[in-house]
Amino acid sequence: MARDVVLVTGGNSGIGFECARQLARAGWHVLIASRNRQASAEAVDRIARDSGADAASELGLDLGSTAAVRQFVREIDARDVPLRALVCNAGLQVHKGPQLSPDGYELTFAVNHLGHFLLTNLLLARLVRNAPARIVIVASGVHDPKFRTGMPKPAVADLATLAATGGPRAGAFDGRLAYVNSKLCNLWFTYELIRRIEAAGLSREGRWVSVNAFEPGLVPGSGLARDYPPVLRFIWDRLLPGLARLLSPAVPSINPADKAGAALAKVALDPELDRTSGRYFPSHARWRAARSSDASYDQAQARALWDASVGFARLAPGESPLLTSA
Ligand SMILES: NC(=O)c1ccc[n+]([C@@H]2O[C@H](COP(=O)([O-])OP(=O)(O)OC[C@H]3O[C@@H](n4cnc5c(N)ncnc54)[C@H](OP(=O)(O)O)[C@@H]3O)[C@@H](O)[C@H]2O)c1
């Protein structure tokens, strides 16, 4: 593998696939990491037809299982992958639940936040060695109660209850709320991660390690609705994508997957962003940096989520360059 490698979680579908395709066009080798290896192999074929045989490869990853994430990173280490960028894009919404991860956490929290938290920490030393390096975390506008999205407002009480239920109340489950909360966690994680990277001196002149968050807008047609009831899935899969393409030029927060994926790739690539960190790139600002929700800047919450996540993922000293120096 001679080229620099960018790892795209969830790169076999939707926004992640379109991002992967753009990154390969820009000369990167894209490593797609998802559970469905058949879908990943097809994605690799499509990218190879577009950008050449060495443009992409795939590896199985289940972000819902901390053991699987560790196994995945062992494989990356064994292959000594020259990783220079990580796009934490994979995500799911659970409608019938609660469903628990193999570690016993609510599945939305486990996949959308905890799996990426662990993966990023385990890959960080490799990214730092290969710096300049980038980390981009895909959040969602639904985390911000200032915008009317049709989704519930985030509601987080104690973090153990969040991890167990996706919400603020023991014994209750609302899949949409679990999703919204997980997307707020993505922002707390983004901002806390870069604070810790900078405090540890891991991002240096000429060898920057940047961390930013991205928000694609409403992108119908992706696999995110796979768990919806059939009527809603039909609308999401068949009716809305055409409408999104039509509306997107006038309504920046509704986008087809190729447009959102290209914008995500730009945050991972754009040389102008080499030294830009801790910023949020949302669709409503046409992917210029803008403020995320007020709650997302709560440093005490971000620190508390970090500390709790270290415990949930059983992150051990030696596994992350941030654990010894934090
Ligand atoms: N579509 C929207 O309107 C929208 C809006 C705002 C934000 N987003 C965010 O955009 C990102 C991409 O979503 P999308 O809309 O493109 O949906 P998508 O087409 O369903 O893509 C999600 C990807 O995540 C992967 N994935 C799901 N569970 C996983 C797991 N346990 N381990 C590893 N990979 C897993 C899926 O692959 P496998 O099933 O093969 O694992 C798939 O490749 C998500 O973070 C989502 O929250 C989407």
- Could you tell me if the CB of 284 is within 6 A of ligand 1? no
Q: What are the sequence ranges of the domains in the chain?
A: 5-319
Tokens 């059983």 locate to: 314
319 CA to centre of own chain: 20
CA distance 141 to 123: 27
Q: Which of 15, 42, 259 maximizes ligand 1 atoms within 8 Å of its Cβ, making it the mutation to test the pocket?
A: 15
CA distance 115 to 182: 11
Q: Which residues are catalytic?
A: 179
Supply the DSSP symbol for 153. Answer: P
CB-CB contact of 55 with 5 (8 Å): no
163 lines ligand 1 (CB under 6 A): no
Kindly state which CATH superfamily the domain 5-319 is placed in: NAD(P)-binding Rossmann-like Domain (3.40.50.720)
Task: Take atom 34 of ligand 1 and give the residue whose Cα is closest.
Answer: 34
What is the best residue among 9, 17, 21, 35 to mutate for testing ligand 1's pocket, by most ligand atoms within 8 Å of CB? 35
Ligand 1 pocket residue status of 34, Cβ below 6 Å: yes
pLDDT of residue 228: 84
Largest CA distance in the chain: 53
Please state the pTM of the whole predicted model. 0.97
- pLDDT digits 0-9 by tens, 195-248: 999 999 999 999 999 999 999 999 998 888 888 888 988 999 989 999 999 999
pLDDT tens sequence for the chain (326 residues) = 568 999 999 999 999 999 999 999 999 999 999 999 999 999 999 999 999 999 999 999 999 999 999 999 999 999 999 999 999 999 999 988 899 999 999 999 999 999 999 999 999 999 999 999 999 999 999 999 999 888 999 999 999 999 999 999 999 999 999 999 999 999 999 999 999 999 999 999 999 999 999 999 999 988 888 888 889 889 999 899 999 999 999 999 999 999 999 999 999 999 889 899 999 999 999 999 999 999 999 999 999 999 999 999 999 999 999 997 44
Report which of 263, 316, 285 is spatially closest to residue 18, judged by C-alpha positions: 263
138 Cβ below 6 A of ligand 1: yes
Digit-coded pLDDT (tens) for 235-279? 999 899 999 999 999 999 999 999 999 999 999 999 889 899 999
Tell me which residue of 314, 311, 301, 313 sits closest to 158, measured CA to CA: 301
132, 84 contact by CB (below 8 A) = yes
Residue 283, ligand 1, Cβ within 6 A: no
Instruction: Give me the amino acid identity at 173.
Output: F
- CB within 8 A of 111, min separation 6: which ones? 63, 64, 90, 91, 92, 101, 182
Give me ligand 1 centre to Cα 215, in Å.
Answer: 13
